[in-house]
A = this chain, B = another copy of it.
Amino acid sequence: MARLSEAQIQQELSQLPHWRREGEAIVREVRCADFKEALLLINAVGHFAEKANHHPEIHNVYRHVTFRLSTHDAGGLTEKDFALARQIDALLE
């Protein structure tokens, strides 16, 4: 899985308004209705992560969940990160 070029990253990000760039990662913060919903979201994202064998960094404080995506093996952002970002967005539509 090849690291994306800066132009490719900007192109991908332009289609993902809920995500922001943080160095070699992209980040989305979500405010759920409550902790139970946050846990359901984490589990659903975990399902996609396991299927793709590509795991986000997950941070949870009560109903707040932050996902941080990066491809450590590639040393930066790859198509895997944007594919998972789109799956996370689909869960939150």
Which bucket holds chain A's interface residue count? 10 to 19
User: What residues on B are CB-neighbors of A49 within 8 Å?
Assistant: 35
Q: How many copies does the complex hold?
A: 2
Q: Are B58 and A35 interface neighbours, CB within 8 A?
A: no
Nearest-Cβ distance from residue A90 to partner chain B, whole angstroms = 19
Q: Are B35 and A39 interface neighbours, CB within 8 A?
A: no
Complex: A7 Cα to B65 Cα, angstroms? 34
Apart from A42-B60, A59-B60, what 6 extra A-B contacts exist at CB < 8 Å? A39-B42, A39-B46, A55-B62, A58-B60, A58-B61, A60-B60
Chain A residues within CB distance 8 Å of chain B: 35-36, 39, 42-43, 46, 49-50, 55, 57-62
